[in-house]
Each structure stands twice: as structure tokens, then as C-alpha cells.
């Protein structure tokens, strides 16, 4: 993530909830493509403060991701399990 020295903004966060902005965008556990955008490379759900989702949509999204994981459409985690990589997202 970004470490900025006050002046420069290195990383621009999308502060609007994508699902509120675009009502045609559906959160569906059967669509791993949409859900994968909100997971990290390690398979973790991206927190709301970073993704910019609203509370309501984040809840629905988290549920959908968990469902998708259960039916193996999304990973619970990746194969890397070394302690060194634990701190990564
Ligand atoms: Zn929303």
C-alpha cells in the first residue's frame, strides 16, 4: 500500500461504492469474476476502507465470496503457507 509523505498521493482509492454507483452490477456467488476483484492475491476479502464499498454491499459481498469459496469458485487461500508470507494480504 501507499506510504505518502503528505504532499504526494501515491495510491488513489476509489471512495465510491461500485455497487451503489452501478445498480446493474450484481453481487452473485455464481460469478467469481466480479467477486475476485474484491479479494487479494492471497484470497482474502479486501476491507471496506480500501475497496470503498458501503457497509450494506460489503456485507452482501463478503457473504457471496464465502459462498463462492465453499463451492470452489474462489480460493480460501493460495498455496503459499510459509511464515514469511503471512503478513502479505
Ligand atoms: Zn453500496
Please name which of 42, 63, 8 lies closest in space to residue 55, comparing C-alpha atoms.
63
pLDDT interval class at 74 (50, 70, 90): very high
pLDDT tens-digit series, residues 40-56: 999 999 999 999 999 99
C-alpha cell at 59: 456485507
Instruction: Kindly give the distance from the C-alpha atom of residue 19 to the centroid of ligand 1, in angstroms, as a whole number.
Output: 5
Domains of the chain in sequence order: 18-78 (4.10.640.10)
Mean pLDDT estimate for the chain: 84
80 in Cβ contact with 41 (< 8 Å): no
Instruction: Kindly give the distance from the C-alpha atom of residue 58 to the centroid of ligand 1, in angstroms, as a whole number.
Output: 7
pTM of the model: 0.73
C-alpha cell at 60: 452482501
Ligand 1 is an ion; its neighbours by CB within 5 Å are 17, 19-20, 54, 57
Amino acid at each position: 500500500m501507499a506510504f505518502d509523505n503528505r504532499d504526494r498521493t501515491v495510491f488513489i482509492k476509489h471512495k465510491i461504492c461500485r455497487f451503489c454507483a452501478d445498480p446493474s452490477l450484481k453481487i452473485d456467488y455464481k460469478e467469481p469474476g466480479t467477486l475476485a476483484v474484491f479479494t487479494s492475491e492471497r484470497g482474502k476479502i479486501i476491507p471496506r476502507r480500501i475497496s470503498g464499498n458501503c457497509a450494506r454491499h460489503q456485507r452482501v459481498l463478503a457473504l457471496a465470496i464465502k459462498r463462492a469459496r465453499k463451492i470452489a469458485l474462489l480460493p480460501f487461500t493460495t498455496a503459499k503457507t510459509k511464515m514469511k508470507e503471512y503478513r502479505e494480504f
